[in-house]
Amino acid sequence: MDEPFSALDVLTAETLRTDLIDLWSEGKLPLKSVLMVTHNIEEAVLMADCLLVLSSNPGRVATELRVTFPHPRNRLAPAFRQMVDDIYALMTRRAAPPDGRTPGAPAITAASPLPRVGSNEMAGLLEALAAPPYSGRADLPALAGSLQMELDELFPLGEALQLLHFAVLEEGDIRLTEAGRRFVEADIEPRKQQFAAALRSYVPLARMIRQVLDERPSHRAPALRFRDELEDHMSPDYAEDTLRTVIGWGRFAELYGYDEEADLFSLEEVA
């Protein structure tokens, strides 16, 4: 079952979860097991007897957990809430790097995939995180609930903010850095300047695009040149998603321009 309840309204999804659990518990399903994929951690703890937490890039089983709570399960029970928090912590845990970078910030190359999130979404999450009741630090399950976001929506945003050193994911929480606070407090032009500096410092693909444009007399470069390089290291779909991400980020930061029709990067739109 691949995210069987994700496209349903809340009431219908909850009804079908309960129906499935009842049929399973009463032995009315002619099955020995059910494998379900979900990005909803609460849903996984509510329904499953065994959880496999997967890592990304490359995808592999990172942790196996047994869920021993009897059915029906109470979402508000302390043990249930603790297990949800523990899984968030497992998924956000990062080793502190030895080279002085922001703790948790992953080292990437120009050929690394980028989260497909926009600058407006990142700004919105930073502003929500800076405001009460979080005031700079939030428990991810609580934040996801208050923003009505699923894990597959919240995590890419958190990872992008961590990549840019605007926030840090740690032990199930997300925390604003000083750079993140400066971004929230700034007006639009200083935000763009800060975003551009972060792209140059922490996103090698954006830095490479700008460097190529600076070095060429025409200050132009076909996107195909970077798309082909990405496809040497990842699938065409991942390459296209990564390219769309770096286009959006670079445009917001006014680091470079991009002509959709010509599929061409340039400095023509940059002040």
Amino acid (one-letter) located at 225: R
Which positions ≥6 away from 220 have C-beta within 8 Å?
Answer: 213, 264, 265, 266, 267, 268
Q: How confident is the model at residue 172 (pLDDT cuts 50, 70, 90)?
A: confident
What pLDDT, on a 0 to 100 scale, did the predictor assign at position 62?
83
Structure tokens at 157: 């945003």
Q: Which residue has the higher pLDDT, 194 or 105?
A: 194
The per-residue pLDDT for 118 is: 95
Q: Is 115:249 a contact under the CB 8 Å cutoff? A: no
Q: What pLDDT was estimated at residue 33?
A: 92
Q: What is the DSSP letter of 218?
A: T
Note whether 94 and 167 are within 8 A (CB).
no
**234: nearest Cα among 58, 105, 61:** 58
Instruction: Please answer whether residues 67 and 48 qualify as being in contact, where contact means their C-beta atoms are separated by less than 8 angstroms.
Output: yes
The answer to whether residue 10 scores a pLDDT higher than 80 is yes
Name the pTM for this structure. 0.78
For 101-135, the pLDDT digits (tens) are 444 444 688 988 898 999 999 999 999 999 999 99
Q: What is the mean pLDDT of the chain?
A: 89
